[in-house]
Amino acid sequence: MHTIEVTYEGELRTRALHKPSGTEIVTDAPVDNKGRGASFSPTDLASTSLASCMMTIMGILADSHGFVIDGTLAEVTKVMASDPRRIAEIHVKMIFPEGITYDEKQKIMIKRAAHTCPVALSLGEQVVQNISFVFNGIEEK
């Protein structure tokens, strides 16, 4: 169990401290919600957590099966809904490095790992997860 301490600093800004490592993350409310937009918003972090979690689980898989995903890039786009204001959709495009070829079995394992990461499984059904994978310039679902 990890302890994270979050402090409200005023003006819609928070500072989160990861106690075991001392790492800090600052959040600001987005401009469209009365904030400055000077840092990640809490909903940005939730969306980013999905991609980071997917990459972590894909990395564990790759390490245990003798291939690499180093250099993989995730483009994350969140779509907000209103009434109530919430994350409606998260789009993640996983772009694997050009020149690295994965066989069909590896691609299936990579996709399965991404879709079954703890964050993906924790998001409710009301958050649409639109995930795609780009292998050597070819986009797949």
- Answer yes or no: are the C-beta atoms of 118 and 49 closer than 8 Å: no
> Which amino acid belongs to residue 118?
P
Supply the pLDDT for residue 11: 94
Residues 6+ apart with CB under 8 A from 119: 49, 50, 52, 53, 54
Residue 1 has pLDDT above 80, yes or no: no
Query: Binning pLDDT at 50, 70 and 90, where does residue 32 land?
Result: confident
The per-residue pLDDT for range 68-104, each reduced to its tens digit, is 999 999 999 999 999 999 999 999 999 999 999 999 9
User: Which residues pair with residue 93 across a beta bridge?
Assistant: 75, 132
Q: What are the pLDDT digits (tens) for 49-68?
A: 999 999 999 999 999 999 99
Other beta carbons less than 10 A from residue 56's beta carbon: 14
The topology (CATH level 3) of 42-140 is GMP Synthetase; Chain A, domain 3 (3.30.300)
Domain chopping of the chain, boundaries: 4-33, 42-140
